[in-house]
């Protein structure tokens, strides 16, 4: 297993290019199951989760060849309909094959994902929505069994907005008979990108990006070519890297139009963020950040996927910040590790009270999930001495070549075999 060593205290300077978004790429990969033929996906990030999704697609009988950042996907007239536990347990997003398999093959058998490090994360809304579309669903031996001859359009209101739940239903309803209206739908940019991808394939979806989405079902979809937009969470993470090291980074291909809430919050902390063009942003900081309070929310609120990274920054702020996590019930696993580096953070229910300290000290720490790993890297970049981050496979799931990108910015970071 690899570990990452960082010798902190170096301000980062230079340019970094933001990669395609993992959470946009995964549903678009799943959507290929809806149409027979050759699909092309460009600007695909090279990440462990994308590789895992490729393994799943291949198990379903789909051909996938990746060359550089472009995937060519070959879908035959029929595919298998089973997503096994072995794969789903390593990546929850595998559940995204449920909607498309059911819609095109008339059946799907997909392992229940189970809990994970950030919460219990049920998929009840995915299942209720598919039932509303006419699917017969049963749960047996840890698997979801779903069947339907042809899904029927309906009106369905989510109890809570769910990103992958909305995506699963968008895909399923695209091939349903008649009109589907999804209420209280997730508004995340990744949902919009999936809807645009489906529309390029011949779907008729309106309203994505709002909480009411209308889908007029069609009889078949056709393969298409897609470009994956840059990753707003990766971009936010590099913004914090500039801020926490008091450096200056130019972010290229930065999707700042989807980043209003994190940009506003970072500016409140005193970070300078200049939008130089559509996709170029300059981020710089000097001195300790100001303390701020933040509450995570579904889009367009402050993203839960940026909470851990902001906490690393706020652990060095002047004053006390309160971070409230409302999306996942257990997303403070990084707190204990940051505390081992000298941070003063106390968790009280869904809130973390962060009393800023003037310095962090390098320590051996353990990554528990993807964004927790990112926060430890950020803390390590600012800390005095050496930080040793174990279990970095979490990081490889969602950050493309992070140590290479950070090295180019001047960080003293290396990956070594444990």
Among 128, 149, 150, CA closest to 139: 128
Contact call for residue 253 and ligand EPU (CB under 6 A) = no
Do 227 and 184 contact (CB within 8 A), yes or no?
no
Q: Say which residue the tokens 């309106």 belong to.
A: 206
Contact call for residue 100 and ligand EPU (CB under 6 A) = no
Stretch that binds ligand EPU, among 32-40, 66-74, 157-165, 175-183 (CB under 6 A): 157-165
Contact call for residue 35 and ligand EPU (CB under 6 A) = no
Kindly name the residue from 67, 116, 157, 246 that is annotated as catalytic.
116
Our answer to whether residue 269 is catalytic in this structure is no
Contact call for residue 398 and ligand EPU (CB under 6 A) = yes
3-class DSSP string for 211-276: CEEEEECCCCCCCCEEECCECHHHHHHHHHHHHHCCCEEEEECCCHHHCHHHHHHHHHCCCEEEEE
Residues in CB range of 63: below 8 A, 6 or more apart: 72, 73, 74, 75
Do 83 and 52 contact (CB within 8 A), yes or no?
no
Rounded distance between C-alpha atoms, residue 300 and residue 286, angstroms: 28
Contact call for residue 164 and ligand EPU (CB under 6 A) = yes
Contact call for residue 111 and ligand EPU (CB under 6 A) = no
Residues between 177 and 236 that touch ligand EPU (CB under 6 A): 186, 190
Q: Which is nearer to ligand EPU, 274 or 329 (CB)?
A: 329
Contact call for residue 305 and ligand EPU (CB under 6 A) = yes
Q: Which is nearer to ligand EPU, 96 or 176 (CB)?
A: 96
Contact call for residue 23 and ligand EPU (CB under 6 A) = yes
* Binding residue (CB under 6 A) for ligand EPU from 15, 65, 124, 274: 124
Give the x-and-dash track for 46-85 against ligand EPU (CB under 6 A). Answer: ----------------------------------------
Contact call for residue 367 and ligand EPU (CB under 6 A) = no
Q: At residue 225, what are phi and psi to the nearest 5 degrees? A: -115, 135
Contacting residues toward ligand EPU, per CB under 6 A: 23, 26, 92-93, 119, 121-126, 160, 162-165, 186, 190, 304-305, 327-328, 370-371, 398
């Amino acid at each position: 297993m690899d570990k990452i060593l960082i010798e902190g205290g170096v301000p980062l300077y230079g340019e970094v290019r933001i990669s395609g978004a993992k959470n946009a790429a995964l549903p678009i990969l799943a959507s290929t199951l809806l149409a027979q033929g050759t699909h092309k996906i460009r600007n695909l990030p090279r990440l462990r989760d994308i590789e895992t999704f490729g393994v799943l697609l291949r198990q379903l009988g789909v051909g996938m060849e990746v060359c550089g950042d472009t995937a060519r996907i070959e879908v035959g007239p029929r595919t298998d309909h089973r997503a096994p536990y072995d794969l789903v347990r390593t990546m929850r997003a595998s559940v995204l094959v449920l909607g498309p398999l059911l819609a095109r093959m008339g059946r799907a058998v997909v392992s229940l994902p189970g809990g994970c490090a950030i919460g219990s994360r049920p998929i009840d809304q995915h299942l209720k929505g598919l039932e509303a579309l006419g699917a017969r669903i049963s749960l047996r031996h840890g698997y979801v069994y779903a069947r339907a001859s042809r899904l029927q359009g309906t009106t369905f209101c989510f109890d809570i907005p769910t990103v992958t739940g909305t995506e699963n239903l968008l895909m399923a309803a695209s091939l349903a008979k008649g009109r589907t209206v999804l209420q209280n739908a997730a508004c995340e940019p990744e949902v919009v990108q999936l809807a645009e991808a489906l529309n390029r394939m011949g779907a008729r979806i309106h309203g994505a990006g709002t909480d009411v989405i209308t889908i007029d079902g069609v009889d078949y979809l056709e393969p298409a070519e897609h470009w994956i937009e840059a990753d707003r969470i990766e971009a936010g993470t590099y913004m914090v890297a500039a801020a926490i090291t008091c450096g200056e980074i130019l972010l290229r291909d930065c999707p700042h139009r989807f980043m209003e809430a994190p940009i506003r919050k970072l500016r409140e902390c005193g970070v300078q963020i200049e939008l130089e063009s559509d996709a170029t942003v300059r981020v710089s900081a000097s001195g300790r950040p100001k303390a701020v309070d933040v509450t995570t929310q579904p889009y367009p609120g402050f993203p839960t996927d940026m909470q851990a990274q902001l906490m690393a920054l706020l652990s060095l702020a002047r004053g006390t910040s309160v971070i409230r996590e409302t999306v996942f019930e257990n997303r403070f696993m990084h707190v204990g590790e940051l505390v081992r580096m000298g941070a003063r953070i106390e968790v009280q229910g869904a809130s973390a009270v962060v009393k800023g300290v003037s310095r962090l000290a390098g320590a051996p720490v353990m990554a528990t999930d993807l964004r927790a790993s990112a926060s430890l890297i950020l803390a390590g970049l600012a800390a005095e001495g050496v930080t040793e981050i174990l279990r970095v496979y979490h990081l490889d799931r969602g950050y493309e070549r992070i140590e290479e990108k950070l090295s180019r910015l001047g960080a003293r970071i290396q990956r070594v075999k444990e």
